[in-house]
Chains A and B, each alone.
Chain A
Amino acid sequence: MKEERYQYEESPSYVSRREFIAISGIVIAILALPAVWIRSAVVKRNSYIRARLNGLYKDDAGSKVRVSHGNSGVAKLYKDFAGHPLSEVSEELFHTQSYVNRTRI
């Protein structure tokens, strides 16, 4: 330990200017690396998210019916079974009153 500290104090005088610049360059490059790496990872991350977002927008644009109230299967479900939105059956099966305050369980 002691010897190391001794070296640390003494060695700069043994490093030439050229060497010092080279070493600084390497140190800076190492410090900068994680930033570059993280940035490229984030860019990549956004590109696959974007591809998936576009996939669903494409699905929408290519659909014959593009509004929920135009879904004939859902209309049939209301006609034959649930009645209308917020009906008693809807409230019972499709809604919940059971959100819980989890700070008090």
Chain B
Amino acid sequence: MNAEARTYQKGEIPGIIGIDADVCKGCDSCKRYCPTGAITGMFGAIHSIDVEKCINCGQCLINCPFGSIYETVDTVDTVIAKLQDKSVTVVGIPAPAVRVAIGEEFGMADGSLVTKEMYGAMRKVGFEILDNNFTADLTIMEEGTEFIVRARHALFGEEAHGHKVGPLPQFTSCCPAWVRYVETKYPSLIPNLSSAKSPQQMAGPLAKTYGALEIWKKPPESIYTVGIMPCTAKKFEASRPEFASAYHFLKKEGKAGSDTPYPDIDTVLTTRDLARLFKKMKIDFTKAGETDGGPLAEYTGAGTIFGNTGGVMEAALRTAYKVLTGNELQPLEFKPVRGMKGVKSASVTLMDTKYGKEVTVNVAVVNGIHGNIEPILEKIMAGTSSYHFIEVMNCPGGCVNGGGQPIKSGGSSWLRAALPLFGWK
């Protein structure tokens, strides 16, 4: 799209979101939802997106009342071709938020939980399943452990074995729009990002190593991984050139099966894309039948709430509490981080049994980074922030309201609902 894009690495897709100049009415609605001020255009004139500033979140897309914003990448037909190719094992990786939204595309009520139906339809068209909730649990193990290492380093001066320890506060890193936001606007805070990859980017290498060799018994190079995401920024994330770790890992052991690096995640479909794929393949979602997802679809309640704002924090606290105190958190629900307030904060005091000392952990949860995150980042840079762990999700409400989800308030339906009001004279 833009050959001279400056804020993109070689191989990355520059700009996932575009505005169709023929359809845009210049109503200015999209600007209010954009977290980075990437949209330019006067009221009444055709608007356009600055790809250097854009973080690919898709919030403008799901909120444009005229449906004039589109995704530049559509791989539904590619995935269908892969599904029909018998020499390829296509692994679908559905994110938490997909199972409470895809039903809406088939006439079900908002928020219907349809995990089993989704598995059923996916199996029917030929997907193997690696539930992204499984890697959400894995993320908690990795990111939670990383947090404990960072906290013990900061509080007790504990040294980590062999790798450098990042500073506090630790930021979550599962939202690629947020990661790109830090990378483009606050690069000095990059060390605060958790080094844990997002659940999608853990799932890719997992499928091509452990999944291929131990579970499906297929050559790694014949695995085709498809992230199924509520998110447009995930399409960008998958194209980051460093995410070919399965290839490099296998190469060392002589098991890569190819001399050209392959990506950890081959392609990404949004929730809307997956619904379109089912429709194209003539699957009646509501009648596809319910099935289990197989060995890599096992997940816990902590993994599934990753799609909600506050969910990653709540899941991390449940596990950190157990690791530090030896006991399970009671009750498991951690209410202060729930709900739709832009910034939520809480403190937890617990006993670190290893050191026999009480520690108080201050956490914050930010959703909808537009207007909410900057004051916090300024404080961190000034050294006056008291937070230790901060969860950030770009989209208001979290991934359940991601840019790849079924469109509710946008599209012409939103406008049509208001039109009768103009009818009076």
Contacts and interface: CB of A to CB of B under 8 A. Distances in A.
21 contacts: A51-B100, A52-B111, A52-B397, A53-B398, A53-B400, A55-B112, A59-B304, A67-B332, A68-B141, A74-B298, A85-B142, A86-B145, A93-B245, A93-B246, A94-B196, A95-B197, A96-B243, A98-B242, A101-B183, A102-B184, A105-B8
Contacts of B163: 86, 91
A71 B304 contact: no
A48 B408 contact: yes
Given A49-B396, A59-B113, A44 B409 contact: yes
Contacts of B210: 77, 80-82
A23 to B, nearest CB: 13
Interface stretch (B84-92, B200-208, B220-228, B279-287): B200-208
B300 A67 contact: yes
A52 B245 CA distance: 33
Contacts of B111: 48, 50-55
A90 B149 CA distance: 15
B195 interface: yes
B141 A85 contact: yes
Interface in A44-66: 44-63, 65-66
B385 interface: no
Interface residues of B, number: 90
B322 A69 contact: yes
B7 interface: yes
Contacts of A56: 96-97, 100, 113, 304-305, 307-308, 311, 400
Nearest to B425: A26
A63 B142 contact: no
Interface in B291-326: 295-296, 298-305, 307-309, 311, 315, 318-319, 322-323
A68 B306 CA distance: 11
Interface of B: 6-9, 96-97, 99-101, 104, 109-113, 115, 134, 136-142, 144-146, 149, 163, 179-180, 182-184, 187, 190, 193, 195-197, 201-202, 205-206, 209-210, 214, 240, 242-243, 245-246, 248-249, 295-296, 298-305, 307-309, 311, 315, 318-319, 322-323, 328, 332, 338, 340, 396-398, 400-401, 405, 408-409, 414, 417-418, 421-422
Contacts of B401: 49, 52
Given A36-B421, A47-B110, A99-B193, 5 more contacts: A40-B418, A48-B104, A65-B300, A93-B205, A93-B249
Contacts of B299: 63, 71
B115 A59 contact: yes
B7 A52 contact: no
Contacts of B323: 69
A21 B226 CA distance: 62
Contacts of A45: 408-409
A73 B304 contact: no
Contacts of B318: 66-68
Contact of B134 (A67, A71, A104): A71
Nearest to B408: A48
Nearest to B328: A67
A60 B301 CA distance: 4
A50 B341 CA distance: 12
Contacts of B303: 68, 71
- The 7 A-B pairs at the shortest CB distance, nearest first, are namely A51-B111, A55-B100, A66-B301, A60-B301, A63-B301, A52-B400, A68-B140
A68 B100 contact: no
Contacts of A28: none
Contacts of A100: 9, 183
B401 to A, nearest CB: 5
Given A52-B101, A56-B305, A73 B400 contact: no
Contact of A92 (B249, B302, B397): B249
A96 B197 contact: yes
A72 interface: yes
A39 B324 CA distance: 46
Nearest to B114: A55
A11 interface: no
